[in-house]
Amino acid sequence: MNKLVKAALMAAGLALLGGCNPSMKPLGYHAQKPYVPMSLLVLPDGYTRFDVQERDELTTAVRSSGAFSFVDHGLPRKGYALVISQPPGEGAGFLVALNALTLLTFPMPYSYVHNLTGKVYKDGELLRTFSYKREGMSVGAWYVPPPITENQRQMLTELMRDVEASALIPHVDDAGQVGLVDQR
Amino acid sequence: MKKTLFLSASLLLAGCAGTQTLPDPHIEAGQDYLPPIAVMVDSLEHGTELRNYLRESGVFSKVENGAAGEGQTQVMVKLDAQRKVAPFPLLFLSAATLFLLPLQSDLDTKADFIVMRDGKVLKRYHYENYMAKYAWLLDLGVPEREENIRRVARAFARDMQAANLASKPLEAQR
Amino acid sequence: MSGLLRAFARLLPLALLTGCAAKSPALVSEALQPAAGGPVTYLVGSIGPLGRDSAYTNQRILLRKRGAQDGAAAWWGFAEVAHTPKDIEEVRGPDKQALPGEASVFVMPLKPGDYEFYDFQFFWNGYNGGYSSIRAREQFLVPMHLEAGKAYYIGEFRSRCLGPSACLFFHGDQQPRDEVIARRYTPALPPLQALNLNMAPAFPFVMPLPQAAQPAK
């Protein structure tokens, strides 16, 4: 029983400390007024569990900013849409993967470039593109959280601020559109 | 002893089919297609799914995604589909049995359909469908969840067709 | 045990060879198959890749009975074990040195009624054993009414991929060519009439064949 307790505690300790990718903190942006009903499309479109998880994280972060009164999925032929994508940058390379031989204990450095793009569409036409980039150096070890989550959070915050400042998408007016404002 | 255990286990597991509170709506066949509608759904997970089921109903000549043009019917859908799963302790217990122990995996759907034209609300519809299911390793309940959304879509399609058949022009509420 | 292995060894080449026979490019679910001796309607067309790009893979167009989930499909397959007949093999477009595209002619016997062309599929078995497919996320609706005792020509669906995941079908008309091949498969086929479907709802997944890809007359 004693041994079992020790093993369980150690496992719990490792789980708390070790490489669990921390989920994204809330965005530093909160909307004053929500947008009219619009569509949101977060790329990449993949169906792998990693793609789905990443897409869900970005979507949740953006939704929790309170910017959307009513948000649909896709890119419609008529209406407003925001398409968020992450153009390929640079990340942990082959050497970091090799670091697995040291059980990711050796602090293997790598340089990264993270990109995020937001495109505002109206009736299928691209109105404006907002691009953001974060670059720097990090270390591929289990005790160092990867910088991509925080970078995504910062870039999304900037994107939401810039989209609001651009006044491209109208807001729900004070009277509220009949039947469209969230009544829950 | 082993035989009876195995038999009772397989019997219990076989009876894990999901139930839906909303019966499968019956749609009149052979009617003309209704004019195109534009549908926006307030749900990132189920929006496209709902639109595809509306297309599958065979009632509408076209179901577009997005805002409607002038004179075109716009349908705004507030879709609240909540997954109700077993609490964590039961989840761990089932995991210990490699998910052979069935777990509650329900889907509670409440949907509001608002039919508009040129900015004026014509009619509102409300549907609810509670799908109760015990899911386990070999039956995750995916078809039942899809069927839940499908029935809500078909219910709306049936009611739109019935409203059209009644030849009552949809008048703006005053 | 050795007896079983021997029997298996004898059966294996036979199984492989039978698997190598071309499969019919028309798939009709049981609910839509015409009853023996009952009314039948035929849907005829051709499907296949226009050239040797990423479209050179398993592909199909999906139809369903209006208002139901019962479906039928016309497919073109290219794989070691399952493939469809190479009825058409030709080079289209200006580059005459390019590898030829292919197509299979399908004759689909169906129960008469209202049908809809609503989706398509391209699918691959990945190099790592995975499986990936492309379908339209937002489906479309091209309706058609098929009457008993008649045969309808829906057109040729020739696919092209503009990049890894952007695949579409070009819709053309090759009724004289396809009718000859269709009659080889089904001699009792009623006279073929053009269906003349408006493929606009299926845009941008189905587009009219561009001039450059029209075959030389």
Domains of chain B: 2-165 (3.30.160.150)
The answer to whether B76 contacts A39, with C-beta atoms less than 8 Å apart, is no
- Alpha carbon A180 to its chain centroid, in Å, reads 27
Gap between the Cα atoms of A11 and C46, Å rounded = 60
Neighbours of chain C (3+ CB pairs under 8 A): B
Note the ipTM here: 0.83
Task: Report whether pLDDT(C147) > 90.
Answer: yes
Task: Report whether pLDDT(B16) > 90.
Answer: no
Q: pLDDT tens digit string along B37-64?
A: 999 999 988 999 999 999 999 999 999 9
Tell me the range of B9-13, B57-61, C87-91 where mean pLDDT is highest: B57-61
Q: Which chain B residue has its CA at the smallest distance from A73's CA?
A: B44
Gap between the Cα atoms of C74 and C47, Å rounded = 7
Kindly state whether residue C193 falls inside one of the protein's structural domains: yes
Q: Average pLDDT in the A95-117 region?
A: 88
Q: Which chain B residue has its CA at the smallest distance from A42's CA?
A: B44
- Domain span holding position C198: 22-210
Q: How far is CA A175 from CA A69, B83, C12, C184, in A?
A: 14, 33, 74, 69
The answer to whether B58 contacts C118, with C-beta atoms less than 8 Å apart, is no
Q: Average pLDDT in the C12-37 region?
A: 81
Crossing angle of the two packed helices A148-166 and A49-63, in degrees rounded to 10: 40
Provide φ and ψ at C183, rounded to 5°: -70, -25
Provide φ and ψ at A115, rounded to 5°: -115, 150
Of C64, C137, C141, the CB nearest to B48: C137
B119 Cβ partners below 8 Å, 6+ apart? A178
Residue C37, amino acid: G
The pLDDT assigned to A184 comes to 33
Task: Report whether pLDDT(C128) > 60.
Answer: no
Going along chain A from its start, the domains and CATH numbers come out as 31-166 (3.30.160)
In 10 A of CB A41, how many CB atoms? 20
The pLDDT assigned to B173 comes to 40
Q: Which chain B residue has its CA at the smallest distance from A81's CA?
A: B66
- Is-contact B54 B64, C-beta < 8 A? no
| B76 vs A10, higher pLDDT | B76
- Is-contact C105 C178, C-beta < 8 A? yes
Residue from B37, B45, B50, B65 whose CB has the most chain A CBs within 10 Å, to mutate: B65
- Number of helices and strands (H, E) in chain B? 4, 7
Q: How confident is the model at residue B174 (pLDDT cuts 50, 70, 90)?
A: very low
The pLDDT assigned to A121 comes to 96
The pLDDT assigned to C150 comes to 94
| Total count of domains within chain C | 1
Scan residues 63-122 of B and list those with Cβ closer than 8 Å to C: 63, 65
Task: Report whether pLDDT(A182) > 50.
Answer: no
CB contacts, 8 Å: A74 with chain B: 47-48, 65-66
Q: How far is CA C180 from CA B134, B137, C136, in A?
A: 55, 52, 32
Q: Does B59 touch chain C (CB under 8 A)?
A: yes
Look at the block and give the residue holding tokens 């839906």.
B20
Short-list C12, C32, C9, CA closest to C20: C12
Task: Report whether pLDDT(A79) > 90.
Answer: yes
- Check residue A173 and report its DSSP letter: P
